[in-house]
A and B are shown apart, each in its own frame.
Chain A
Amino acid sequence: MIKLIVQLSSPSLLRSVSVDLNNDSSLLIDIPDALCERDKVKFTVHTKTTLNSFQKPDFSVSRQHEDFIWLHDTLVETEEYAGLIIPPAPPKPDFESPREKMHKLGEGEATMTKEEYTKMKQELEAEYLAVFKKTVQVHEIFLQRLSSHPNLSKDRNFQIFLEYDQDLSVRRKNAKEMFGGFFKNMVKSADEVLISGIKDVDEFFEQEKTFLLDYFSKIKDSTAKAEKMTRSHKNVADDYIHISATLNSIAADDNTALKQHLEKFAELLEKLRKVEGRVASDQELKLTELLRYYMRDIQAAKDLLYRRARALADYENSNKALDKARLKSKDVAQAEENQKQCLLKFDKLSESGKKELTSFKGRRVVAFRKNLIEMAELEIKHAKQCVILHSTCIDLMDSSFIFAVVQVRGRR
């Protein structure tokens, strides 16, 4: 299977985080647009397929975030897929941060000049748009990972999700009643089961367990810290807006030789803040989002380990039951059958689990490599641009200035 990482024409590069689309174009999914109404985001899920299992070759439906969650949960709770890493569910669209900032901006409007306010508003609108784009892509990637998985792409519920042209909320409610979050409750103590469980006979799984548990906590920490770092960067960029605006006001009133310098300085800061903003958002996409995505993916891998551990426990229980049945000479056949089934399930899980975990590692390394390279390249590009901006600014300031620079340099 040739792994292809497809970059789509949209400016956001989140797609490169994880998706391998196989050559098979029998099922192509994308989210061409979405609508944001108050708190609700409505995604348009567009499918193009050559498969007969679908009624039409090309169709679109409208889905909400809750529908994605329903799909994810159904897959997780399907026994058949217990040995697979189920792609992590997309996170809920979160417009809290830009909304809060917009609110604060509204409150502080009186203290700013019109120019300043407009710029801040633009920044916020851009941020809002960025969050929006991010959430669209995260939902899209979820679907694309499903469609490129040999087993999951054939899932009946997946097909319903893509095709059913009415509201899914009725289905969702039924599902909730059926499963009642039963499995979810169990998953909560998954970590405990994994950690306190018996040392695994299988070397591979024992290693994976140790590794994944440790790695998960570390990557969770890194994600949080990267997020804080990016936010500070954005704050610095925002400060440049205020400083630039005030410098312009001072320059406007100034009629000394300082006027030109203030204006140029203000102009430079305005340009710089755009670059700084881009540095922050690039860092977010390449680093923070990368870490965040793999954090969730590792959680999904841990879930797989958990299911296997549970299957092992089931098998061991069935052994005990069989022994008991033999002692009592009652229902032996049934117990034997049960034991056979448990063993089968466990073996199947182990086999498929091994495959999934190995390919997961490869996928992770490739994604990290790509993103780290891209991030470094972007940082260099932005820093070089900054240097050019600064130099141009210093040159533009009048010659007596340069005289002062020479003097200052000479005295160092």
Chain B
Amino acid sequence: MAEDREPPPLADAVQTDFREVEEGEDLFVSTVSTLSPTSPEPASFPAEDISTNSNGPKQEILLDDDQEDLFAEATEEVSLDSPEREPILSDGPSPAITPVTPTVIITPRVDALFDRSLDESFLNYSGFLFLSSSAYRGAAITSLSLFSRNEFSVKRRFSDFLGLHSKLASKYMHIGYIVPPAPEKSIVGMTKVKVGKEDLSSAEFVEKRRSALERYLMRTVNHPALVKDPDVIQFLENTELPRAVSTQALSGAGILRMVNKAADAVNKMTIKMNESDAWFEEKQQQFENLDIQLRKLHASVESLVCHRKELSVNTASFAKSAAMLGNSEDHTALSRALSQLAEVEEKIDQLHHEQAYADFYLFSELLGDYVRLITAVKGVFDQRMKTWSKWQDAQVMLQRKREAEAKLQYANKPDKLQQAKDEIKEWEAKVQQGERDFEQISKNIRREVERFEKQRVKDFKVVIIKYLESLVHTQQQLIKYWEAFLPEAKAIA
């Protein structure tokens, strides 16, 4: 870490340094790399180097094309709107920070490595992040200044990713930011890996998880506010990270989470909001429908993946059988043709296998991601409802306090009266704050949804094209194989 700059402010000051490695935990290596055109020395982000781009035109974040990179064409605007950056810490007016729009090139890449150096087997995930920041205002505590090096990698556990998500969710969801959801835990998958089976299915599981984590990181750093969050920086930079114990399913925190979820569900049913804004009503309905449809589509695509894998297996098994039949055949030319047929079918089974791979990683995983994302979007709408409810409650309380004060006026009890007046002032402030919060979250949600929709359109477009290309490629290969076989069949005399 660089010494010639301020240490990053940490959202939570509590750090207990421990690094117990226990069974079933994955280690992830996240590599962050920053390429800074304006600061050739990686370690120096001089405070006075200010670009002229403050409030200027939108900059683009270009992403390096990686094999699994689905966001090659994503462009995003990064804006340092500080008032929203540290919401928890300030109840009052936000710090005076001038927003700037720097250029950032971010490319996370997550690799998974087995590490058998200890008794148990671990999954190390190493992440690479290319980050370039050219302009910022140094006076402010901007996140980008905290990236001291261009390229670095860290080891992270799976639970660290979950921990990161949980922190971000608790910080940002209640003000209306759509926080990308982290991949889900999988007991079955992890158990297989733990047991040490290095067979096909556990290798597939590792790859699936690695890819999911990479996409998760990508989405997180693409979010203009989240990328500046100190927890995110810390996650990407710190060599050691405090263990995120509260992500374990059956921990105290886990149970608390479940209880909260249940409470939220109940609340959702009881809060009847007077929706004055047609936009929200429309959007909410839209996302409900999209949720149902995407889930259905996801299920159908998963079925396709399954059937195509079956097709691949069955084709391979037929190929073997045809080869045996060819051996058994006593007519020479026919025997040769049957052997050729077996070879063609074997190649075709490979094709099907690859196509199933594309079906899954391009199509199915995208749909799965979006099903989870839409749950996050719906969550944000719910938060708005909660904020509204809180505001309404404050109004009700204010009314009550006013009534109490009026009563006291009659009863003529001066000391209690003063207290009542104080309470009224307090609740008036709360009502104001409630209204402000509600307006803020509504504004945030509008912006977030717009960004989300743009991203969604982009993601789907790219994936559809890529998927179509994979299908075309398969068919072209089929033509090649069968055209090679045809003369063999004709040669049977």
Residues of A within 8 A of B (CB): 211, 214-215, 218-219, 221-222, 225-226, 228-229, 231-233, 235-236, 239-240, 242-243, 246-247, 249-250, 253, 256-258, 261-262, 265, 268, 272, 361, 365, 368-369, 372-373, 376-377, 379-380, 383-384, 386-387, 390-391, 393-394, 397, 401, 404-405, 407-408, 411-412
The answer for the CA separation of A268 and B475 in the assembled complex, in Å, is 14
Cβ A408 vs Cβ B461 within 8 A:
no
Select which of A243, A262, A386 is within 8 A of B304 by beta carbon: A243
Is B461 a contact of A261 with CB atoms below 8 Å? Answer: yes
- B475 and A386 contact, CB distance less than 8 A: yes
Residue in A214, A222, A369 whose beta carbon sits within 8 Å of that of B492 in the complex: A369
Q: Complex Cα distance A380/B456, Å?
A: 37
Contact with A along B303-326 (1 / 0, CB 8 A): 110011011001101100110110
Can you list 12 A-B contacts with CB-CB less than 8 angstroms, sorted by A residue number? A232-B307, A232-B315, A235-B310, A236-B311, A246-B296, A256-B453, A258-B457, A258-B460, A361-B331, A376-B483, A383-B475, A411-B65
Contact of B308 among A236, A257, A365, A390 (CB under 8 A): A236
Given contacts A258-B456, A408-B466, contact A246 B330 (CB under 8 A): no
Contact in complex: A214, B328 (CB < 8 Å) = yes
A211 and B330 alpha carbons, distance in the complex (Å) = 8
Give the shortest distance, in Å, between B316 (CB) and chain A (any CB): 9
Q: A233-B311, A250-B293 are in contact. List 11 more A-B contacts (CB 8 A).
A: A211-B328, A218-B325, A221-B324, A228-B318, A236-B311, A240-B304, A253-B289, A256-B456, A372-B341, A394-B472, A408-B65
Q: Chain B residues near A405 (CB, 8 Å)?
A: 465, 469
Supposing A225-B318, A258-B461 touch, asked if A253 and B300 sit within 8 A by C-beta, the answer is no
The 6 closest A-B pairs by CB, nearest first: A232-B311, A411-B65, A369-B492, A225-B318, A239-B304, A372-B489
B151: chain A residues at CB < 8 Å are none
- Structural contact, B300 and A379, CB atoms closer than 8 A: no
Secondary structure at chain A's binding surface: helix, strand, loop or mixed? helix
Please indicate the chain A residues that have their CB under 8 angstroms from the CB of B457 in the complex: 256-258
Instruction: Find the B residue at minimum CB distance from A223.
Output: B321
- Docked pose: A258 CA to B490 CA in angstroms: 48
User: Is B162 an interface position by the 8 A CB rule?
Assistant: no
Establish whether residues B486 and A376, one from each chain, have CB atoms under 8 Å apart when the complex forms: yes
Contact A365 B318 (CB under 8 A): no
Q: Judging by beta carbons under 8 Å apart, are B307 and A373 in contact?
A: no
Look across to chain B and name the residue whose beta carbon is closest to the beta carbon of A371.
Answer: B489
Contact partners of A243 in chain B: CB under 8 A: 297, 300-301, 304
For A249, the chain B residues whose CB sits under 8 A away are: 293, 296
| B321–A253 touching, CB < 8 Å | no
CA distance A144 to B338 in the complex (A): 28
**A233 neighbours in B (Cβ, 8 Å):** 311
- Pair A225/B314 contact, Cβ less than 8 Å: yes
Residue of A nearest to B286 (CB): A253
Once the chains bind, are A369 and B318 in contact (CB under 8 Å)? no
Chain A residue numbers with a CB within 8 Å of B314 are 225, 228-229, 231-232
Given contacts A218-B321, A372-B341, A376-B482, contact A261 B329 (CB under 8 A): no
Complex Cα–Cα for A370 and B244 (A): 67
A392→B328 CA distance, assembly (Å) = 45
Q: Say how far A357's CB is from chain B's closest CB, in angstroms.
A: 12
A373 to B337, CA, bound (A): 10
A387 touches B465 (CB 8 A): no
- Which residues of B come within 8 Å of A, CB atoms? 65, 72-73, 286, 289-290, 293-294, 296-297, 300-301, 303-304, 307-308, 310-311, 314-315, 317-318, 321-322, 324-325, 328-331, 333-334, 337-338, 341, 453, 456-457, 460-462, 464-466, 468-469, 471-472, 475-476, 478-479, 482-483, 485-486, 489-490, 492
B293 engages A394 (CB within 8 Å): no
Contacts of B466 in A (CB 8 A): 408
- The answer to whether A218 touches B328 (Cβ under 8 A) is yes
Residues in B neighbouring A225, C-beta threshold 8 A:
314, 317-318, 321
Write the nearest CB–CB distance from B235 to chain A, whole angstroms: 27
Point out the residue from B72, B286, B307, B325 that lies within 8 Å of A408, measured CB to CB. B72
Are A387 and B307 neighbours in the complex by a CB distance under 8 Å? no
Residues of B within 8 A of A258 (CB): 456-457, 460-461
Q: Which residues of A contact B334 (CB under 8 A)?
A: 365, 368-369
CB of A232 within 8 A of CB of B318, answer no
Query: A412 touching B65 by the CB < 8 A rule?
Result: yes
Contact of B300 with A242 in the complex, beta carbons under 8 Å: yes
CB–CB A250/B290 < 8 A: yes
CB closest residue in chain B, given A225: B318
**Distance A392 CA – B322 CA, assembled complex (angstroms):** 36
Nearest CB in chain A to that of B491: its residue: A369
Residues in A with CB closer than 8 Å to B318 are 222, 225-226, 228-229
Nearest B residue to A211 via CB reads: B330
Contact A373 B489 (CB under 8 A): yes
What residues on B are CB-neighbors of A387 within 8 Å? 472, 475-476, 479
Of the residues A211, A221, A246, A397, contact of B293 by C-beta under 8 Å: A246
Rounded to whole Å, the gap between the CB of B397 and the closest CB of chain A is: 41
Complex-state Cα separation, A258 to B328, whole angstroms: 55
B73–A246 CB distance below 8 A: no
Q: A214-B328, A232-B311 are in contact. Are A376 and B489 (CB under 8 A)?
A: yes
B residues within 8 A CB of A377? 486
- Bound CA span A373–B488, Å: 9
In the complex, which residues of chain B have a beta carbon less than 8 angstroms from the beta carbon of A231?
314
Distance (whole angstroms) from the CB of A134 to the closest CB of chain B? 20
Instruction: Give chain B residues whose Cβ lies under 8 Å from the Cβ of A235.
Output: 307, 310-311
For B327, the closest partner residue in chain A by CB is: A218
Q: Which residues of B contact A372 (CB under 8 A)?
A: 337, 341, 489, 492
Contacts of A218 in B (CB 8 A): 321, 324-325, 328
Residues of A within 8 A of B456 (CB): 256, 258
Which residues of chain B come closer than 8 Å to A401, judged between CB atoms? 461, 465
CB closest residue in chain A, given B484? A376
Q: Contact check, A215 vs B307: say whether CB atoms are below 8 A apart.
A: no
Q: Given A240-B304, A258-B457, A261-B460 in contact, is the A383-B478 Cβ separation under 8 Å?
A: yes
**How many whole Å from B323's CB to the nearest CB in chain A?**
10
CA of A224 to CA of B321 in the docked complex: distance in angstroms? 10
How far is B475's CA from A401's CA once the two chains are assembled, in angstroms?
A: 22
